[in-house]
């Protein structure tokens, strides 16, 4: 912790001192070496009946009478009503191989570290015992224990334990140490640690009579997250070194602290009866329950705050999306109306052009028809005078109008059609046929090349126009 503010905050959390100036003086006197300062403070506190305590600290801090007075007042508050030994605290630095085995330590320990800062250390514990020896990180050259390998070791331990002692025992989680610690953090429980020494003479009796007793195992399962490991396995061996296990059977109660460390709340070394174990665990749980409850309530409050914020964000998002949908719908409607108006204008222009084009084409066709009729009329030549070789032709039109003319008997039947085309504007050229009534003879395209005489129309004939269907 290189940052001055972090060191100051951490020193206050560990020692329970509230006077910032005094904390600064103590840390400054130790060259801002956090562990030395904490060690000096807790060593002085452990000798509450030793008259030399205050003067020793005064020498560390300086000769300031004000500083001495402040420290004495705080020492009195810290040691007030100590009575029987309270919950023993040690801050244990985990081996890097244990930390590396589960990457969730950094984020997970922060939440549990709030328990320490929030109240466990400031809770009315009796004597606060902080291990003054430096717990350095284990050699980084040791082989890393991956999370999968550690979990495999834990599952193997549970399997071997059940084969040896049966199914009634604390529910050891089949996870690595750090994953189990994370689980205890999530469940707001303390963590019960059992280090198993298969070769120790007291192990069998302790497991059968104490650890597997119905009352104790039920209490542990209800109130703790239990983790067990054999000291023959890699992670169990490393944890025995970290916890400084000197006697077996070995049990401990821990919780996560900050900066890749765990807080050792209670350790039990050597054989104990179920009643003794139960009494110690109940005391640890009783003294820690205010902090656990506060942490749980704080987490619930944070969850409620997050949920409320999420609901507000969701409501805002829904309102925003509704506004955007309305705006989008309005814009789409405006665009649709504009497209319809543009389409209507385009169609109207096209229709207008089509009408103009049709009118122009009709005028051109009409002009061509007029020219054609005039050309056919000119092609007939002058009407011949009556004579033996002249045929008199009378044609009745569909509208009742009659047209008559004289033709030379050698003229073709086509000349009769040219005559009708030239003198009648009501008939469409090529859309009718000429015929006689009695007998009915149709003079169609096959007879157009016949002369009037050859067609039997000489010397005179009365024809009518029959429109083609």
- For the stretch 270-281, pLDDT in tens is 999 999 999 999
Report whether pLDDT(48) > 70: no
Q: Which of 13, 198, 18, 41 is nearest to 112 (CA)?
A: 13
pLDDT confidence of residue 21:
76
Residue 162, CA distances (Å) to 158, 167, 196, 428 in order: 6, 5, 13, 113
What is the average pLDDT across 101-125? 37
pLDDT confidence of residue 30:
80
What is the average pLDDT across 390-417? 93
Q: Taking a C-beta distance cutoff of 8 angstroms, is the pair 263, 257 a contact?
A: yes
Q: Taking a C-beta distance cutoff of 8 angstroms, is the pair 97, 63 a contact?
A: no
Q: What is the pLDDT of residues 220-240, one digit of tens each?
A: 999 999 999 999 998 999 888
Average pLDDT, the chain: 78
pLDDT confidence of residue 370:
86
CA 455/CA 459 separation, integer angstroms: 11
Q: Rg (Cα) of the chain, in Å, rounded?
A: 57
The CA-based dihedral angle spanning residues 342, 343, 344, 345, taken in that order and rounded to the nearest 10 degrees: 50
Q: What is the pLDDT of residues 317-329, one digit of tens each?
A: 999 999 999 999 9
Q: What are φ and ψ of residue 46, in 5° steps?
A: -70, -20
**Strands 190-196, 224-230: pairing kind:** parallel
With cut-offs at 50, 70 and 90, classify the pLDDT of residue 355.
very high
pLDDT confidence of residue 34:
76
The CA-based dihedral angle spanning residues 165, 188, 288, 110, taken in that order and rounded to the nearest 10 degrees: 120
Report whether pLDDT(46) > 80: no
**Beta bridge mates, 267:** 252
Q: Taking a C-beta distance cutoff of 8 angstroms, is the pair 304, 133 a contact?
A: no
**Least confidently predicted of 81-85, 87-91, 238-242, 446-450:** 81-85
Report whether pLDDT(242) > 70: yes
CA 233/CA 155 separation, integer angstroms: 12
**Strands 90-93, 261-269: pairing kind:** antiparallel
Q: Taking a C-beta distance cutoff of 8 angstroms, is the pair 377, 423 a contact?
A: yes
Residue 229, CA distances (Å) to 90, 176, 374, 385 in order: 21, 9, 122, 142
Q: What is the pLDDT of residues 125-183, one digit of tens each?
A: 333 333 333 333 333 333 334 678 888 999 999 999 999 999 999 999 999 999 999 89
| Composition of the chain by helix, strand, coil, percent to 5 | 55, 15, 30
pLDDT confidence of residue 93:
61
Q: Which helix (H) or strand (E) holds 443?
A: strand 441-443
Q: How many CB atoms neighbour CB 155 within 10 A?
A: 14
Higher-confidence residue of 451 and 39: namely: 451
pLDDT confidence of residue 70:
38
Q: What are φ and ψ of residue 289, in 5° steps?
A: -60, -40
pLDDT confidence of residue 58:
31
pLDDT confidence of residue 246:
86
pLDDT confidence of residue 90:
59
pLDDT confidence of residue 206:
96
> Over pLDDT 90: what percentage of the chain?
48
CA 104/CA 337 separation, integer angstroms: 59
Three-state secondary-structure class, residue 464: strand
Q: What is the pLDDT of residues 420-443, one digit of tens each?
A: 888 887 788 888 999 998 889 999
CA angle (224 as vertex; 219, 229 as ends), nearest 5: 105
List strand residue ranges (DSSP E) for 286-399, in order: 390-396
What is the average pLDDT across 13-30? 76
CA 254/CA 229 separation, integer angstroms: 15
With cut-offs at 50, 70 and 90, classify the pLDDT of residue 16.
low
Terminal Cα-to-Cα distance of the chain (whole angstroms): 109
What is the average pLDDT across 307-316? 93
With cut-offs at 50, 70 and 90, classify the pLDDT of residue 36.
confident
Q: Residues near 155 by Cβ (< 8 Å), separated by ≥ 6? A: 174
Q: Taking a C-beta distance cutoff of 8 angstroms, is the pair 210, 170 a contact?
A: no
CA 226/CA 92 separation, integer angstroms: 18
Higher-confidence residue of 369 and 269: namely: 269
Output the six-digit token pair for 70.
Answer: 């402040």
Report whether pLDDT(108) > 70: no
CA 85/CA 128 separation, integer angstroms: 9
Burial class (CB in 10 A: 0-12, 13-18, 19+), 200: middle
Report whether pLDDT(31) > 90: no
CA 271/CA 314 separation, integer angstroms: 57
């Amino acid at each position: 912790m290189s940052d001055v503010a972090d060191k100051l905050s951490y020193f206050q959390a560990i020692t329970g001192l509230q006077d910032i100036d005094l904390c600064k003086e103590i840390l400054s006197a130790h060259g801002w070496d956090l562990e030395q300062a904490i060690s000096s403070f807790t060593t002085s506190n452990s000798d509450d009946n030793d008259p030399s305590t205050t003067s020793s600290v005064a020498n560390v801090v300086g000769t300031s009478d004000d500083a001495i007075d402040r420290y004495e007042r705080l020492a009195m508050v810290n040691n007030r009503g100590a009575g029987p030994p309270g919950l023993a605290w040690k801050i244990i630095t985990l081996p890097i191989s244990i930390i590396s085995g589960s990457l969730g330590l950094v984020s997970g320990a922060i939440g549990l570290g709030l328990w320490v800062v929030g109240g466990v250390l400031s809770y009315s514990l009796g004597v606060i015992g902080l291990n003054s020896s430096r717990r350095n990180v284990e050699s980084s050259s040791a082989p890393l224990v991956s999370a999968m390998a550690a979990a495999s070791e834990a599952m193997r331990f549970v399997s071997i334990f059940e084969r040896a002692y049966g199914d009634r025992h604390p529910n050891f989680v089949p996870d690595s140490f750090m994953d189990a610690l994370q689980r205890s953090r999530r469940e707001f429980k303390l963590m019960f640690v059992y280090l198993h020494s298969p070769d120790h003479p007291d192990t069998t009796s302790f497991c059968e009579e104490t650890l597997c007793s119905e009352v104790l195992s039920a209490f542990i399962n209800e109130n703790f997250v239990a983790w067990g490991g054999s000291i023959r396995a890699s992670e169990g061996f490393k944890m025995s070194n970290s916890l400084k296990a000197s006697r077996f059977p070995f049990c401990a109660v821990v919780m996560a602290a900050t900066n890749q460390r765990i807080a050792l709340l209670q350790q039990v070394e050597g054989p104990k009866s179920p009643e003794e174990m139960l009494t110690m665990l109940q005391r640890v749980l009783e003294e820690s329950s205010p902090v656990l409850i506060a942490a749980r309530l704080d987490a619930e409050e944070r969850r409620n705050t997050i949920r409320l914020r999420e609901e507000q964000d969701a409501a805002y998002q829904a309102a925003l999306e509704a506004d955007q949908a309305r705006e989008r719908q309005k814009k789409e409607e405006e665009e649709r109306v504009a497209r319809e108006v543009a389409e209507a204008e385009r169609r109207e222009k096209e229709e207008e052009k089509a009408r103009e084009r049709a009118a122009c084409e009709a005028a051109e066709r009409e002009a061509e028809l007029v020219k054609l009729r005039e050309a056919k009329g000119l092609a007939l030549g002058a009407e011949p005078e009556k004579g033996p070789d002249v045929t008199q032709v009378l044609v009745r039109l569909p509208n009742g109008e009659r047209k008559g003319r004289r033709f030379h008997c050698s003229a073709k039947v086509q000349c009769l059609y040219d005559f009708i085309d030239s003198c009648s504007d009501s008939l469409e050229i090529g859309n009718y046929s000429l015929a006689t009534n009695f007998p009915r003879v149709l003079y169609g395209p096959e007879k157009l090349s016949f002369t009037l005489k050859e067609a039997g129309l000489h010397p005179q004939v009365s024809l009518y126009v029959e429109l083609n269907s």
